[in-house]
């Protein structure tokens, strides 16, 4: 596939006064920038299968409120501030265009860009505004950009036919706790991205064919849980396909290996405690100790850790005596544990 760069993006809809419900409806008409990472299998939030369900309008069986909704709302509300800090630090003028665009040659590719950058020389760039918490700043370390954002930026450059994208990320509460990353257009990577998006849209979404799970196991299991819904202990037993025999045997093999490693780990932990028991005795109630050996200094800490909890009996008592308080503060979440028992001949 040879990319044609002689094009201008088309406007799908003006988003200035669009309701969120209508905006989501337009997003389902194609693939947006934030969808690109899922298609490439690198999204930390959803699988390609989840994206397929969304584009096909398939509602998950468990429609629970997103646990990170506050972070998303904070990010949305701070976009203008992040753009203002970026402009102040770089001297570039930034401006929004409240429209949803699409690629004229690949109309399934959509773009809803945060801001555009006026470089002052007649050229323009894209600005994506991000926020993160202080403990997650390492994802931007060594002048890097999180890979899911990288694919988002490359998607937008493709749709808008623009050669530069900047990411601005606020991770604290002052302008110095701020990352700026710059990325140039790479037509080889863009070609691969377009090919993957085209296959997903034409061969999965339009043909009604579910894409396979290829992501990390935790993300896949969460996707399955949300799609099928809560466990039903009264449901009929499922007769499994023989193709799963290899997987079951592999699971049992790994479980045995883990058990041996756990036993070895417990032995090592016991030996470690034996090695410092006399040191703890010498420290008494003190939380720190020091030992100097020539030019080497060993600093020892033995700090307390506190945890406040309500035991099972306390919960039962609270439920009986103060059911209104119990309902307000105690909630039940479901997690499922996989287990295999092998019976019969070895």
Do both 143 and 200 map to the same domain? yes
Can you say how many angstroms the Cα of residue 186 is from the centroid of all Cα atoms in its chain? 24
Whether 46 and 141 map to the same domain: the answer is: yes
Verify that 110 and 257 share a domain, yes or no: no
CB 52 within 8 A of CB 199: no
Residue 250 and residue 218 in one domain: no
What's the rounded Cα separation, in Å, for the pair 53 and 50? 5
pLDDT at 336: 57
Q: What is the pLDDT along the chain (346 residues), one digit of tens a residue?
A: 678 889 999 999 999 999 989 998 999 999 999 999 999 999 999 999 999 999 999 998 887 655 566 767 777 788 999 999 999 999 999 999 999 999 999 999 999 999 999 999 999 999 999 998 888 888 898 899 999 999 999 999 999 999 999 999 999 888 899 999 999 999 999 999 999 999 999 999 999 999 999 999 999 999 999 999 988 889 999 999 999 999 999 999 999 999 999 999 999 999 999 999 999 999 998 999 999 999 999 999 999 888 777 777 777 777 777 777 777 767 666 665 665 565 676 5
pLDDT at 268: 96
Question: What local confidence, expressed as pLDDT, does residue 192 receive?
Answer: 96
Which two three-digit tokens encode residue 123?
């050229």
User: Rg of the chain over CA atoms, in angstroms?
Assistant: 27
pLDDT at 135: 82
Instruction: Please check whether residues 125 and 71 belong to one and the same domain.
Output: yes
Do 105 and 196 have their domain in common? yes
Q: Are 52 and 211 in contact (CB under 8 A)?
A: yes
Q: What's the confidence (pLDDT) of residue 224?
A: 94
Question: Do 111 and 201 fall into the same domain?
Answer: yes
Residue 50 CA to residue 204 CA, distance in Å, equals 12
Do 126 and 264 lie in one domain? The reply is no
Q: What angle do CA 194, 199, 204 make, to 5 degrees?
A: 140
Give the separation between CA 225 and CA 101, rounded to whole angstroms: 34
Give the chain's domain count: 2
What pLDDT, on the 0 to 100 scale, is given for residue 44? 92
H or E segment to which residue 25 belongs: helix 20-27
Map residue 42 onto helix, strand or coil: coil
Q: Are 108 and 198 in contact (CB under 8 A)?
A: yes
Same domain, 128 and 247: no
Question: What's the CATH code of the domain at 24?
Answer: 3.90.320.10
Domain that holds residue 284: 243-302
Q: Give yes or no: residues 165 and 298 share one domain.
A: no
Beta bridge partners of 15: none
Residue 211 DSSP class: P
d(CA 96, CA 124): 12
Last residue of a domain, one of 187, 202, 228: 228
Cβ pair 290, 297 in contact under 8 A = yes
- Cβ atoms 169, 131 nearer than 8 A: yes
């Amino acid at each position: 596939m040879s990319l044609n760069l002689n094009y201008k993006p088309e406007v799908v809809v003006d988003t200035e006064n669009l309701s969120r419900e209508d905006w989501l409806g337009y997003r389902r008409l194609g693939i947006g920038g934030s969808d690109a990472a899922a298609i490439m299998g690198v999204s930390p939030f959803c699988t390609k299968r989840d994206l397929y369900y969304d584009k096909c309008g398939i509602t998950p069986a468990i429609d629970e409120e997103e646990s990170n909704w506050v972070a998303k709302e904070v990010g949305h509300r701070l976009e203008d501030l992040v753009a203002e800090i970026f402009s102040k630090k770089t001297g570039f003028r930034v401006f929004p265009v409240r429209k949803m665009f699409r690629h004229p040659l690949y109309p399934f590719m959509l773009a809803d860009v945060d801001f555009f950058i006026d470089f002052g020389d007649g050229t323009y760039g894209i600005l994506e505004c991000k926020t993160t918490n202080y403990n997650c700043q390492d994802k931007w370390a060594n002048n890097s950009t999180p890979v899911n954002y990288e694919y988002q930026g490359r998607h937008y450059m493709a749709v808008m036919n623009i050669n530069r994208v900047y990411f601005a990320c606020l991770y604290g509460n002052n302008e110095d706790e701020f990352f700026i990353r710059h990325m140039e257009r790479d037509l080889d990577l863009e070609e691969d991205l377009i090919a993957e998006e085209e296959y997903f849209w034409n061969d999965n979404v339009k043909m009604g064919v579910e894409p396979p799970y290829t992501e990390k196991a935790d993300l896949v299991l969460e996707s399955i849980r949300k799609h099928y819904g809560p466990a039903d202990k009264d449901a009929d037993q499922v007769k499994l396909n023989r193709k799963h025999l290899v997987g079951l045997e592999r699971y049992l093999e790994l479980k045995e290996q883990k058990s041996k490693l756990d036993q070895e780990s417990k032995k090592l932990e016991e030996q470690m405690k034996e090695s410092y028991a006399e040191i703890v005795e010498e420290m008494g109630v003190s939380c720190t100790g020091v030992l100097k050996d020539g030019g080497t200094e060993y600093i020892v800490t033995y700090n307390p850790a506190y945890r406040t909890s309500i035991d099972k009996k306390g919960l039962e008592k609270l439920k009986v005596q103060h059911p209104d308080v119990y309902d307000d503060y105690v909630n039940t979440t479901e997690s499922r544990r996989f287990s295999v028992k092998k019976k019969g001949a070895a």
